[in-house]
Structure 1
Amino acid sequence: MRYFAFLFCLLITLSLGVALSLQFGSVPPLGRLLDPNQGFWQNAFSEDYAYTEQVTLKGLKEPVTVNYDEHLIPHIFAEHEEDLFRVQGFITAKHRLWQMDFQTLAAAGRISEIVGPIALDVDKLSRRKGLPYAAENALNAFKQSDPEVFVLIQAYTDGVNEYINGLSYAELPLEYKILNYRPEEWTPYKSALLLKYMADMLVGDVDLQYTNLRSILGQTLLDKLFPDFPEDNDPVIEAEKRWNFTPLKIERPENLDYPNDKILLPALAQPEPGIGSNNWAVAPKKTKNGHALIANDPHLSLNLPSLWFAMQLSTPNFSVKGATLPGALGVISGFNENIAWGVTNATRDARDWYKIQFKDDGRSEYLYNDRWIQSNLRVEEIKVKGQPTVYDTVVYTHHGPVVYDKNFKGERQDVNVALKWTAHMESNEQKTFLLLNKGKNHQDYLEALDYYTSPAQNFVFASNTGDIAMKVQGRFPLKWEGQGKFIMDGNDPRYEWQGFIPFDQNPSTKNPSRGFVSSANQHSVSEDYPYFVFDNSFEHYRNRRLNERLKSMENMTLEDMKSLQYDSYHLHAAEALPLMMNLLDQTSPAIDSTEVGRYLEKLADWNFNTFPNQEEPTLFNIWWEELYKSVWSFLLQDSVPVVFPNKYQTVQLMMNEPSHELFSRSKKEGLLKAEDHVRKSFEVMVEKIKNWEEEKGEYNWAAYKNTSINHLVPNFESFSRKGIYTGGGSGILNATGSRHGASWRYVAEMGETVTAYGIYPGGQSGNPGSKFYDNFIKIWANGDYVNFNLRSKSDRDELLFSTEFIN
């Protein structure tokens, strides 16, 4: 076993050394790296044998026990919360130090320090978006408004640093050795950075893209293709919900010429397609055992080490288990003896953009309310490995930081654009999860959410008393109808946010008559909700499939919940393919040839599942992607950032207006109607499949999709896992695409004793030399789970090893 690990790591080390020398211009010290006493050989250590150890940890009030189960999941038993989180910090660092360090360096805009100038633009963007600034504000909130939480954060920090300070070079995670740097001390600021890293990962906006798109399409077509509510709106909060509050008044200012810009702008990248999530809870009246059921599966980028680290945290007052974020305290998605909760992204427009006019090139003053007011200049010092330090001056207005100006993305040097974002404001999301971890009922859940502001999330809830609930929680700006869809004038006070929607008026529901609550990133509410709700990225398929199944199911069990999480029915294909084949039949007599008849026959007989061995999903996926590109390619004029109409609206246009003039906008010969695009894209699909068969053979869905779980450093291919045999896809409940999918799945049945199962695509260890680095992947890909029940301190069944921490 150890010889295998040796050869494996040797090959990795040599290949990475070459890759690093080519890409980063620096090579790790190979002599030290190859040293059998302190180099990569030491990282062949695998935590696969049983032992008991005792560790001295400064600051503990009483001894703490950590029992690891057979999957390397630690169960921490402490008498005091401060001890609990001190040990959580130590244990997390022991298994995931490099990951938690790397992710916070990314959020802080410091990757250039370890990889060189290749990351310089990425670092600049992180700083210009204000992530370090946002983390500083959050840290100040911890310190000033909630010293009790700050004490726990400091204990966690001390635990991480105890582990770091005890590390020899031989014990360093392998990535440090390859990239040739050492971990610096952990700080509470880094924990705040991690939460801002998540906020940035999950938020999007299309203000600048919409501004560009309006210049291309005009307002009428833009409204047609991007309606605020689709025809088939099935919102997070049931449409039957009646709002029992008096909303704050907000009206569009009179004589406001908005939108009025016809300019072309740069824009931030949006969250990757496929990032989303599912969660739901079922009332006892719909379950076999008369207990509430709950499920959650956040869909994110699939990475190694995994974003999540499973853990149980126990004191005499509570025991909580679930998925933690390395670097943050407590459990983020999970359950305790009384309640369970989970999260999905509540896609809402919480970022707005303002056009700024500076007085002169010094940018020390900008125009607001027709007066020149002082700006703040923040000089960002970016250290670059192997090169001189780079300094980037970021201008802060009262709206927020100027992301794009003459010094960054300078294609439009006459346009200075500032970002206003709720994540920049003081917040205390950490307290939300600390309170949920020990919550006992629905009221505790609501009180915990009152501290949560960003990124907006749909929090599902279930309790052992049978309550189920859902709340769309975040700090939502109070906007007049249409505000923030396009770039706004930073000089005009009428474009200011008018405050925020009160937390008790955020959309929520408890024990609805239909017997379930659910969310899948769709619209939060129906049109009768009294506030303006907008986002461009609401989901239109997973939510309808999920609600359709939940409405029809009775006597539900945990096995039913697992099956739903792994449901691979392709609702988009079920609605789009019959239309596409009908349009194809109308215009394409030549396509009925024997040569391609087998493809049409397969598609005609498809049951719309996306199992890994099926070929039909591949055929449809290629055909649809080519059709979609063919229809909307004209929007890419001048290479300016725009957003395309979504799949749902594209199908609606093809179905209801197949001769609309939009289909002739491509200016390509013979493409005048929807049927022309359908025919042409089908022909392209046939050629692509033929080429695939000639070059690679079978084109089943798993082979074509090629689900991969990549290491956080893109070129560390040997630490990644490719070609995972699994089904599903974007827009499907089993949302497993090529690089995105269910980053964590768990289901639980509430009751006097909670029964739970969980899984994620990775492993507990961050060490590529450990069998626990990727041992969950096959289980996850097969749609299986591991037992996730709470354990007691005396439970020794299937115990891997244990650690006793003493002062």
Structure 2
Amino acid sequence: MKYVSFFLTLAVSVALAILVSRPIGQIPPLAPLLDPNHGFWQNSYSEDQIAKEELSLENLSAPVEVVYDENLIPHIFAQNEQDLYRAQGYVTAQHRLWQMEFQTLAAAGRISEIVGSRALELDRMTRRKGLAYGADLGLKFLEENDPETLALVEAYADGVNQYIDQLSDARLPVEYKILNYRPEHWSAYKSLLLLKYMSDMLVGDRDLEYTNLRKILGEAGLNKLFPEFPKENDPVIEAERVWDFTPLAVTKPDSLSYPDHMLAMNPLNQPIDGTGSNNWAVAGKKTKNGNPILANDPHLSLNLPSLWYSMQLSTPEHSVKGATLPGALGVISGFNQHIAWGVTNATKDARDWYKITFQDESRKAYRYGNEWKPSQFRIEEIKIKGEEAFLDTVVYTHYGPVVYDQSFRSDRADVNFALKWTVHEGSNEQKTFILMNKAKNHSDYNLALDNYSAPAQNFVFASKSGDIAMRIQGKFPLKWREQGKFFMDGADPRMEWQGYIPFDQNPSTLNPERGFVSSANQHPVDPSYPYYVFDNSYEHYRNRRINRRLREMEQITVDDMKALQFDDFNLQASEALPVLIKLLGSAQAGSPEAEKYLGELSSWDFFADPNQKAQTLYSIWFAETAESIWRELRSTDLPIVTPNSYQTIDLMASSPSDSVFDMKSTEALEGADYHVKVGLDSLISIMNKWVAEEGDYSWANYKRTTIQHLVPDFKPFSVGNVYTGGGSGIVNATGSRHGASWRMVVELGNEIQAFGVYPGGQSGNPGSRFYDNFISTWANGEYLNFNLRTPDQQEGVLFKTTFN
């Protein structure tokens, strides 16, 4: 079966290269690909079939033992950190080399090197955002400030490179063979670049869209449709928190200057809907066994190979286990003998845009107050497979790179906008995880986080000593109200950030009276927090469902926390569906289909389980209603955003006759009821087509969750139609392409009990039985035992390897 799968993959890949209009690249040489001794046939193996008891790893100070459990999870036992991270690099490369390199090529804007000119615009934008520039500064920061961490990162790179140097053509990952290239050496720079790539995945901004909306709606209209705090704000840090510090003063300019025309550039890619996360910790006073319990499930793209790679890393001083990020040192979300921690994205605007006024067409200087500041130029050479390299000149100002100019995505020659982003400042996130892996208490946790700048995260914490905590950590600029919400005039020095919020004044809490801490990408604080906080993408449903359940629950067990991570209750539907039905009123009488669907909706319990049909109906009805409401606003050719679901539902419920519902293109005066009927008509039309073509409209069949290979063209390496429930805005946030990329639950008793799972497998090789073997476990809401192991533990051992 494996040989058949690989042959089909080869056929599909080559056919795509020949037939589609934008092929994946040059057709790979067929003879090497079909060579039975070196070609893709050699990738049809599982790792235990080729395991060796001993391997040579140079530069070790003592032997390192690696014990693989039955799920191919390695447990590395070393005598010191240098050896530990050198072995981590080697072991990770054994199983995830192609993924590691592909992701760093993407972060560096180098995908054109392997797939050709189809990736040129993507690479140009990546370079212009300055991810590689940020990694350069990060490496310089380590060289000048932290040679100890740099030495560990270099040890990791050495381990990766020793694996690459002994890698035969036969064992080369199949993606290299299909795309016809070979791996290059790893470096400390690449590990830092990977962390910058995570910042780009998780951080968004809507300055461009809000600038246009401000011109379209005016200040009053903008504030009405896009309030900065929801009516029901249940923030990350409990609203009862008293801020016991004296905030730094922030001076707002007397007058503000914004671009005076509409902006037609294409916005940067933003975090995709569904990108989010949950984490929480409950105190021992709320649990059955009297021990803190911590849970974490980051929501990201569902990809193969999986984003995460599970490991245990042990020295005589510490043992840590959890999810690692292939290419980075240590465990990112996990636990050790003393503490557990997890992360969610702290959605907060960390990128600002400044309009640059150049002195002349040479762009060698730009206005800043009464002066002309000199520009810097960075020539980006983008190599393209099979073609000549493309040279892109990017101008750098003291704010950052000029992403938009006359040569890139603008219909105006005088539009030049620079991006200011904390990623372009030297930082040491890698040290955070190295220290966190060894932390023993809340003080150690805080010391580790003091090194962390971006992307901003909500770090949840629990310890065996009984503490629970949450800290929103990132390097946050001091801003006056609404600063950075719109594009700003870079020629005005008053538009500058006025420093940074001190780390000890970032929102945090320790052992709150309510007995739990939690985050789900919602507002970080209530309005009493003394600094300006803003983002366009705050969550409004998962957080309230989690907090309500945690407030209600007592005698909590690990199984309770697993069930909460897999909770399918659709809070949005429970609030919106009664509004839709009420507004529909007498208009609901109509076709047999309408009566049938409304009957199914009326009897629904609001759980988005995989067999539920009402969840499918609701998701379509509400989406089509919202589309009708905001259609005229969206009809402009300019980049904008529309009000979120929470605000849309609130307006429908509280002000159904508001002028926002009126269609300016008609003479009649429409209210919310008009759009609800339009949405129902669209639902019937969509369902008629779906039933005729597909039949079953149960939620899992309609949603069709797919775990997709990192190269979308390689469909045989993906897993489609995963039978599972959940969805956007639901605690089990499993959509069609996004969801819980890792689930972990840890009880911190005398003997730590840990459980974890992710939607994939340990191997990056599609021919391995360990490539996707966790998916069904994950889809069913089940977990693997994730307890710490000792070197001499015999049960559940797949094989052992000793590095000498």
Tell me the CA shift for residue 594 of structure 1.
Answer: 3.1
CA contact (8 A) 1:209 1:265 kept: no
**Aligned pair partner of 1:803 in 785, 788, 801:** 801
The aligned amino acid for 1:339 is I
Aligned pairs for 1:152-301 (under 5 A) are: 152-257=152-257, 262-301=262-301
The aligned amino acid for 1:223 is N
Tell me the CA shift for residue 168 of structure 1.
Answer: 1.3
Measure, in 2, the Cα distance between the counterparts of 1:320 and 1:443. 18
Aligned pairs for 1:507-656 (under 5 A) are: 507-586=507-586, 588=587, 591-656=589-654
Measure, in 2, the Cα distance between the counterparts of 1:668 and 1:126. 44
SS in 1 for 2:37: coil
Measure, in 1, the Cα distance between the counterparts of 2:667 and 2:763. 56
Cα-to-partner distance string for 1:207-250 (whole Å, 9 max, x where unaligned):
11100111221111101111111110000000000000000011
The aligned amino acid for 1:219 is E
Change (3 A) 1:186 1:263: closer
1:17 counterpart = 2:14: yes
Cα-to-partner distance string for 1:80-127 (whole Å, 9 max, x where unaligned):
100000000000000000000000000000000000000000000000
Equivalent residue number for residue 745 of structure 1: 743
Equivalent residue number for residue 36 of structure 2: 36
Measure, in 1, the Cα distance between the counterparts of 2:432 and 2:60. 25
Tell me the CA shift for residue 573 of structure 1.
Answer: 0.5
Equivalent residue number for residue 5 of structure 1: 2
**Aligned pair partner of 2:772 in 737, 759, 774:** 774
Measure, in 1, the Cα distance between the counterparts of 2:640 and 2:663. 16
1:694 counterpart = 2:692: yes
Measure, in 1, the Cα distance between the counterparts of 2:604 and 2:41. 51
Measure, in 2, the Cα distance between the counterparts of 1:11 and 1:256. 61
Measure, in 2, the Cα distance between the counterparts of 1:420 and 1:501. 16
Measure, in 1, the Cα distance between the counterparts of 2:546 and 2:256. 42
Equivalent residue number for residue 414 of structure 1: 414
Measure, in 1, the Cα distance between the counterparts of 2:459 and 2:591. 53
Change (3 A) 1:704 1:356: same
Tell me the CA shift for residue 178 of structure 1.
Answer: 0.2
Measure, in 2, the Cα distance between the counterparts of 1:638 and 1:556. 51
CA contact (8 A) 2:264 2:411 kept: no
Measure, in 2, the Cα distance between the counterparts of 1:114 and 1:734. 36
The aligned amino acid for 1:630 is S
Equivalent residue number for residue 789 of structure 2: 791
Single out whichever of 259-268 and 285-294 deviates more from structure 2.
Answer: 259-268
Cα-to-partner distance string for 1:374-394 (whole Å, 9 max, x where unaligned):
100100000000110000000
The alignment-based identity, stated in percent, is 60
Equivalent residue number for residue 85 of structure 2: 85
Equivalent residue number for residue 367 of structure 1: 367
Change (3 A) 1:130 1:25: closer
Tell me the CA shift for residue 62 of structure 1.
Answer: 0.1
Equivalent residue number for residue 107 of structure 2: 107
Tell me the CA shift for residue 75 of structure 1.
Answer: 0.1
Tell me the CA shift for residue 370 of structure 1.
Answer: 3.0
- Stretches of structure 1 that go unaligned for 5 or more consecutive residues are none
Equivalent residue number for residue 712 of structure 1: 710
CA contact (8 A) 2:292 2:748 kept: yes
1:150 counterpart = 2:150: yes
CA contact (8 A) 2:276 2:520 kept: yes
Tell me the CA shift for residue 44 of structure 1.
Answer: 0.2
Change (3 A) 1:709 1:666: farther
**Aligned pair partner of 1:765 in 757, 763, 766:** 763
Measure, in 1, the Cα distance between the counterparts of 2:273 and 2:669. 27
Measure, in 2, the Cα distance between the counterparts of 1:341 and 1:766. 26
Equivalent residue number for residue 730 of structure 1: 728
The aligned amino acid for 2:601 is L
Measure, in 2, the Cα distance between the counterparts of 1:263 and 1:383. 31
Single out whichever of 592-601 and 691-700 deviates more from structure 2.
Answer: 592-601
Measure, in 1, the Cα distance between the counterparts of 2:613 and 2:664. 30
Equivalent residue number for residue 662 of structure 1: 660
Tell me the CA shift for residue 670 of structure 1.
Answer: 6.1
SS in 2 for 1:410: coil
The aligned amino acid for 2:514 is R
SS in 2 for 1:710: strand
Measure, in 1, the Cα distance between the counterparts of 2:615 and 2:667. 29
Measure, in 2, the Cα distance between the counterparts of 1:671 and 1:294. 52
Single out whichever of 663-672 and 361-370 deviates more from structure 2.
Answer: 663-672
Tell me the CA shift for residue 49 of structure 1.
Answer: 4.6
Taking structure 1 as the reference length, the TM-score comes to 0.98
Measure, in 1, the Cα distance between the counterparts of 2:264 and 2:721. 40
CA contact (8 A) 1:280 1:294 kept: yes
Change (3 A) 1:491 1:51: closer
Cα-to-partner distance string for 1:752-805 (whole Å, 9 max, x where unaligned):
221000000000000000010000000000000000000000012110011100
Equivalent residue number for residue 312 of structure 2: 312
CA contact (8 A) 1:304 1:709 kept: yes
Measure, in 2, the Cα distance between the counterparts of 1:135 and 1:155. 18
CA contact (8 A) 1:404 1:416 kept: yes
SS in 2 for 1:170: coil
Change (3 A) 1:665 1:417: farther
Measure, in 2, the Cα distance between the counterparts of 1:621 and 1:263. 33
Change (3 A) 1:652 1:169: same
Measure, in 1, the Cα distance between the counterparts of 2:199 and 2:226. 25
Measure, in 2, the Cα distance between the counterparts of 1:257 and 1:392. 30
The aligned amino acid for 1:659 is S
Tell me the CA shift for residue 597 of structure 1.
Answer: 0.9
CA RMSD of aligned residues (A): 1.2
SS in 1 for 2:766: coil
Tell me the CA shift for residue 691 of structure 1.
Answer: 1.0
Cα-to-partner distance string for 1:410-469 (whole Å, 9 max, x where unaligned):
323321111000111000000000000000000000000000000000000000011000
- Stretches of structure 2 that go unaligned for 5 or more consecutive residues are none
Equivalent residue number for residue 335 of structure 1: 335
SS in 2 for 1:697: coil
CA contact (8 A) 1:734 1:741 kept: yes
Measure, in 1, the Cα distance between the counterparts of 2:508 and 2:28. 53
The aligned amino acid for 2:416 is N
Equivalent residue number for residue 303 of structure 2: 303
1:464 counterpart = 2:461: no
Measure, in 1, the Cα distance between the counterparts of 2:594 and 2:259. 49
Aligned pairs for 1:358-397 (under 5 A) are: 358-397=358-397
The aligned amino acid for 2:12 is S
Tell me the CA shift for residue 251 of structure 1.
Answer: 2.4
SS in 1 for 2:311: strand
Measure, in 2, the Cα distance between the counterparts of 1:639 and 1:193. 35
Cα-to-partner distance string for 1:18-77 (whole Å, 9 max, x where unaligned):
112331351111111011100001000112459551000010000000000000000000
Q: Tell me the matched-pair count.
A: 801
Measure, in 1, the Cα distance between the counterparts of 2:788 and 2:540. 36
Structure 1 segments (4+ residues) deviating >6 Å: none
